[in-house]
Amino acid sequence: MTLESHLAGLNHTLAGLQAQASRVHRWGARLAHLLSAGGRLLAAGNGGSAAEAQHLTAELVGRYRHDRRPFAALALNAETSSITAIANDYGYDQVFARQVLAHARPDDVVLLMSTSGKSPNLLEAARAGRVAGATVWALTGELPNPLAALADDTLALPGDPCHVQEAQLVVVHAVCEAFEAALPVVGRRVS
């Protein structure tokens, strides 16, 4: 594969993302409303998607572009002691689900990132999110996939998994843009 062919594949994925701009804006605005009212974002993924889950939560707890108060956001895949204990006692399929059951509430969003939409630990987390009464969002590769079927809302991207993973970063930043733009004035103040 050449750089040119790689970029052509990425452009295909990004065109699919562009077609879903309204969903990205809606997610950012919904997060601004929920987190400003005391809700939380619980995010998770495997591999590169785990890195993007951490990236998103870091932007919400820290800041994206503007200095503002921090918001409650946790990357479940960063909880290494919980992950290893749960995997040891319950199996790897439960590493996120048990955390979701422990932390998720009805005013929270559980965002699950997967290029395939087939990871058993994310499928279990989606089921746990529904049990907890939280809103479940999926950021996945192409449809159909099992994770999308379990989620309340899905942003599905076309293309090879490597391009979907690259586009996840764009989604993270675009959601943060929409989040900060939608914050009520009180949420923009630094506490």
Q: Which 8-state DSSP code applies to residue 78?
A: G
- Residue 149 tokens, joined: 């079927």
Q: Is 137 helix (H, G, I), strand (E, B) or coil?
A: strand
Q: Does domain 14-64+72-185 have CATH number 3.40.50.10490?
A: yes
Query: How far is 146 from 157, CA to CA, in rounded Å?
Result: 14
Helix (H) or strand (E) run with residue 22 in it: helix 21-36
Per-residue pLDDT of the chain (191 residues; tens, 9 = 90+): 799 999 999 999 999 999 999 999 999 999 999 999 999 999 999 999 999 999 999 999 999 998 999 999 999 999 999 999 999 999 999 999 999 999 999 999 999 999 999 999 999 999 999 999 999 999 999 999 999 999 999 999 999 999 999 999 999 999 999 999 999 864 555 55
What is this structure's pTM?
0.95
Query: How far is 143 from 159, CA to CA, in rounded Å?
Result: 11
Q: Which 8-state DSSP code applies to residue 113?
A: E
| CA proximity to 175, closest of 40, 44, 57 | 57
Q: Would you kindly state where each structural domain of the chain is located, as residue ranges?
A: 14-64+72-185
